[in-house]
Amino acid sequence: MSQVDRYVWQPIDPGQVPAWSRLLVAIQAADQLDDVLTSEDDIAEELDDPACDYGRGSVAVYDGEIMIGYGVLGTRSAADPAHVMQMEGGVHPSYRGLGIGTRLLDWAERAAMPLHQERHRGHPLSIEGRCPARNTAAVALFAERGYEPARWFHFMTCDLSATLPPCPEPAGVQIVSFTPEHSEDARQARNEAFRDHWRSTAMTAADWEHFIGYEAFRPTFSLLAYDGTEPVGVLIGHEYDSYTQATGRRELYVAVVATRRASRERGIASALLVRALTLARDDGAIAASLHVDADSPTGAFGFYQRAGFTIADTTIAQVKPVS
């Protein structure tokens, strides 16, 4: 029996949130990550994600009472044409090099199949995992297990003490604060705007309710743009109290910026972003951050650079077809 076989593997449930939080804190510190949610409250919210079946699509690896590894699979609302399930996972830095990461990737392939068959039978299945581009060991592990790099994503930050560019509302467009009455308009605008983005699928009503139900969701920093009665753009802002407590600094996380395709090139996204950054700064935030597809078809990466954001880290999406 190998050393890995002596560890206990079991699905993740709410009672394991404290152990999971401690594992994520250790991973974050070792890998110098700044965009991983590690507080118990934030992690507990993920257990309600309708895209995840934690009973069958999650695993925690234990050495005694210490969680030393984990994996979570997420399904998607559509297969277009392939169903690409996302796999999130990690191994405690003190337990790396023992084969746990390899076993987690093998587990993902086995666990994904029945979940895939229930939701998208007849479509091809792929699994997507992500790792920092600078983590050469993780990149090598994915390659060894048959994954190929498919896309690069940047984590970008912006110093809000710098002067923000002037950005008036575009002609004929009104920008309003998010309220519950605007929620469905926001979901529809987001779904239509992201239809041409890489591997993006529509957020169902349940997905959306979970998303705006996060404790971190800030209606104050979330906005919609209307052209008459037609919603043409949306921005959703988050602020994580655990990050503020850990660092002593308030930061706006821009979770969504989207403009419907027929309304692009009108300055709507710029107006939404500058308005949200200004609101956050005036409320005491000193920085903002976001994730962006490096090859976004809308040119979002360059757009954020022009708005004052710079690259803090880069992640590679690694994809493997599973038969």
Percent of the chain at pLDDT > 70 equals 100
Q: Rounded to whole angstroms, how far apart are CA atoms 46 and 67?
A: 17
**pLDDT of residue 1 exceeding 90:** no
Least confident segment among 4-18, 94-108, 159-173, 301-315 = 159-173
Which pLDDT does position 165 carry in this prediction? Answer: 82
**Cα pseudo-dihedral 162, 163, 164, 168, rounded to 10:** 170
Q: Is the peptide bond before 81 cis (omega within 30 degrees of 0)?
A: yes
Q: What is the mean pLDDT of residues 41-70?
A: 97
Measured CA to CA in angstroms, residue 319 lies from 6, 58, 102, 125 at distances of: 29, 19, 15, 10
Tell the residue number behind the tokens 């690069």, with chain if given: 152
Q: What is the mean pLDDT of residues 274-278?
A: 96
Beta strands in the chain (DSSP E): 8-10, 58-63, 66-74, 83-91, 125-132, 148-159, 173-177, 223-227, 230-238, 251-259, 287-293, 310-322
Q: Rounded to whole angstroms, how far apart are CA atoms 112 and 117?
A: 9
Tell the residue number behind the tokens 């050393």, with chain if given: 3
Q: What is the mean pLDDT of residues 56-61?
A: 98
Q: What is the mean pLDDT of residues 195-223?
A: 96
Residue ranges and CATH numbers for the domains of the chain are 4-152 (3.40.630.30), 163-307 (3.40.630.30)
For the chain, count helices (H), then strands (E). Answer: 9, 12
Per the prediction, the chain carries an average pLDDT of 96
Which pLDDT does position 126 carry in this prediction? Answer: 98
**pLDDT of residue 130 exceeding 80:** yes
Which pLDDT does position 200 carry in this prediction? Answer: 94
**Which pLDDT band holds residue 167 (cuts at 50, 70, 90)?**
confident
**121 CB-near residues (< 8 Å, 6+ apart):** none
Which pLDDT does position 276 carry in this prediction? Answer: 97
**pLDDT of residue 36 exceeding 90:** no
Q: What is the CA radius of gyration of the chain?
A: 20
Which pLDDT does position 8 carry in this prediction? Answer: 97
Q: Rounded to whole angstroms, how far apart are CA atoms 90 and 93?
A: 9
Say if strands 287-293 and 148-159 run parallel, antiparallel, or are unpaired.
Answer: antiparallel
**Which pLDDT band holds residue 168 (cuts at 50, 70, 90)?**
confident
Report angle CA 302, 308, 310 to the nearest 5 degrees. Answer: 70
Report the half-sphere exposure of 261 (CA within 13 A, side-chain side).
8
**Which pLDDT band holds residue 164 (cuts at 50, 70, 90)?**
confident
Say whether pTM exceeds 0.85: yes
Q: Which token pair is 265? A: 């090139």
Which pLDDT does position 68 carry in this prediction? Answer: 98
Q: How many CB atoms lie within 10 A of CB 143?
A: 12
> Which tens digits make up the pLDDT trace of 245-265?
989 999 999 999 999 999 999
Measured CA to CA in angstroms, residue 203 lies from 100, 168, 185, 237, 306 at distances of: 33, 30, 13, 17, 29
Burial class of 104 by CB neighbour count within 10 A (0 to 12, 13 to 18, 19+): buried
Q: Which token pair is 58? A: 């999650």
Percent of the chain at pLDDT > 90 equals 92
Burial class of 116 by CB neighbour count within 10 A (0 to 12, 13 to 18, 19+): buried
Q: Rounded to whole angstroms, how far apart are CA atoms 13 and 16?
A: 6
Q: Rounded to whole angstroms, how far apart are CA atoms 84 and 198?
A: 11
Q: What is the mean pLDDT of residues 26-37?
A: 89
